[in-house]
A and B are shown apart, each in its own frame.
Chain A
C-alpha cells in the first residue's frame, strides 16, 4: 500500500517569519510606539510652555536632552567607588550601562540555574522537599529590596551585593515555577521515556527540562523588570557605580535634567533587554507556541 497518499498536507502552514505581512505589521507597531511616546512628550512640553511644569523640577524632554555632552560628564568610565567623574562622554555612558547590565545578566543566569536545580531537588527528593520547601515558601514573598541590608552585611560594598539582589529577585520565582511546571509535563512524555528505558536522570535532562524550559523562560521574562528595579536600588545604595548611582547622585544634587536623562536611558535599556530575551526565546525555544497550544492535537 502506498503511504504517500495519507494526508500529506501539514496541519498548519509553516510560519512566514519576516514575510511582507510581518514586516508591515512590525512597521505599524513601531509607528504606534512613536505616536504613543510623542503624545506623552507633547503633553509634557505643552505643560512647560503653559508654565504649569517648573523646568527646574520637571524639565521637559527638549531641555533634559538638549545638552547631552554636559550631562554625560556625570558618567564615569571607572567602576570605582568615589572616583570623581573624569571626562564623561559617550564611552562613559556605555560603560555605566554595561556595568549595570553585567550585574543583571550575571544575577539572572545564576538565579535561573540555581532556581531550576533547587526546584528539581525539591520536586524529586522527599528530604529536600521536607527541609527546603517550607523555607522557600516563607522567603519567597519577601521583597528583594528587603534583602539589601543583608546583602551588604554579607558581601560589603561592590558588585556582589547588586548581583545577589538580582539573584534573589529571580531565584524564588524560578524555584516555585520549576516545581509547578514539572507536575504539568504531559504524563505521556514520561511514559514514552520510561518505555524507551531512560533513567531518572535521562528523563529529567532530556524530557522534563526541555518540556518546562519555555514556561521557565516566561517566568524569567516576567521577573526581568523586578531584577532591573532592584539592581538600580542596590547600585544607589550598596555599589557606588552604575545607573542607579547616577540617579542617586542626581537626586542628591537636585539635578532634574540628569534624573530624567538617566530615567530615559534606563527605560531604553530595559526595553532592549526584554527584546533580546524575546529573541533568544524565539531562536532557542521555538516550540513554546506549540507546547502552549498542545502540539499533539
Chain B
C-alpha cells in the first residue's frame, strides 16, 4: 500500500543573509505514514518538527530530499493536506459557519451544498449551535474545534496539527484529545501531530517519532500498542513515560545549551 506521506532524507537549512548564520533545522529525516495512521512527532522545542509539517503541507520547501504524498511529489499546498495551528487562526470577520465554509467557497462549492456540508461538519464537532457566532464569542477549545472543522470540511486524507492543544488548559486539553481520536477514527485520515508533551504522545499515537535537538534528526520511532481510549493513570504508561523521558532528557539539555549559547 502506498504510504500517505513519505519522507526521504529530508534536510532543511534556514538561509540567512550571512552564510555563517545559516541554521540547519533538519537532517536526514526518513519515515513513512501509513493511510489512517496516527503519528506523533515528539521533540524539544526548536528541533524542526514544525518545519517538517510546514514542508509536508507545501508551505515550505525542503533543502534536501524528497517528500511524497500518496506516492506523488509534494508541490503547492493542498486542502487534501489540512494543517491546524496552535492558535485557531479563524478569521475574526467571518462567522463560524463562514469560517468553516471558507475552503468550500474558494473551491466554488455552491451555497446550498456548502451550507449543508458546513452544518453537518459542525454537528460532528459539537458546534451545531455556534453557526452564526463570531470566533471571538467562543472559548479556546471551541475555537480549536472550529479550526478542525474548517480543515475537515475539505475531507483531507492527511490532517496535520502543530501543537494544537498547547494553548489550552489541562482539562480542556484532555477532552480535546478524546475528541480528536473520535474525529480521526470517523474520518479515516492519517494524522501527523507535533507536540512536546510526552503524555499527549502516549495518549494519542500509533507511533511516536522522537526527534533530537537541532539539527533535528530522528532519534528513534516507538510504536505504542495499547488499546484506545487510554486512561491517563494506566500503569502500562509508566514504562513508556520513563522511556520517552530518558530519550528526551539528553535532547532537552542539548537544546537548552544551544539556546544559551545563541543568546549570548
Q: Contact partner of B87 among A188, A197, A206, CB < 8 A?
A: A188
Q: Does A6 contact B (CB under 8 A)?
A: yes
Q: Does A253 contact B (CB under 8 A)?
A: no
Hey, what's the 0/1 contact readout for A1-16 against B, CB within 8 Å counting as 1? Answer: 1111111111110100
CB neighbours (8 Å) of A4 from chain B are 126
Q: Does B89 contact A (CB under 8 A)?
A: yes
Query: Are B93 and A296 in contact (CB-based, < 8 A)?
Result: no
Q: Answer whether A191 and B59 are a contact pair too, CB < 8 Å, given A5-B175, A196-B79, A210-B91.
A: yes
How many chain B residues touch the partner (CB < 8 A)? 45
- Report the nearest A residue to B81, measured CB to CB: A195
Q: Answer whether A6 and B89 are a contact pair too, CB < 8 Å, given A11-B140, A195-B78.
A: no
CB neighbours (8 Å) of B138 from chain A are 10-11
Q: Contact partner of B142 among A7, A186, A189, CB < 8 A?
A: A7
Query: Are A11 and B106 in contact (CB-based, < 8 A)?
Result: no
User: Which of B88, B89, B92 lies at the interface centre, i.e. has the most chain A CB atoms within 10 A of its CB?
Assistant: B92
CB neighbours (8 Å) of A188 from chain B are 85, 87, 89
CB neighbours (8 Å) of A196 from chain B are 79, 102-103, 106-107, 154
A202: shortest Cβ distance to chain B, in Å? 6
- From A48-56, A149-157, A175-183, A287-295, give the one contacting chain B: A287-295
Q: Does A256 contact B (CB under 8 A)?
A: no
Q: Does B145 contact A (CB under 8 A)?
A: yes
Report the bound CA distance from A229 to B92 in whole Å: 35
Query: Are A296 and B87 in contact (CB-based, < 8 A)?
Result: yes
Query: Are A3 and B79 in contact (CB-based, < 8 A)?
Result: no
Q: Does A139 contact B (CB under 8 A)?
A: no
Residues in chain B within 8 A of chain A (CB atoms): 57-59, 76-79, 81-83, 85, 87-93, 102-103, 106-107, 125-126, 134-143, 145, 150, 154, 167, 171-172, 175-176, 178-179, 182
List 8 additional contacts besides A287-B136, A290-B92; criterion CB under 8 Å.
Answer: A3-B145, A7-B140, A7-B142, A11-B138, A210-B93, A211-B91, A291-B92, A297-B87
Residues in chain A within 8 A of chain B (CB atoms): 1-12, 14, 186, 188-189, 191-198, 202, 206-207, 210-211, 286-287, 290-291, 295-297
- Show 9 residue pairs from A and B whose CB-CB distance is below 8 angstroms, ordered by the A residue: A1-B178, A6-B172, A9-B139, A11-B139, A12-B136, A12-B137, A191-B57, A194-B58, A291-B92
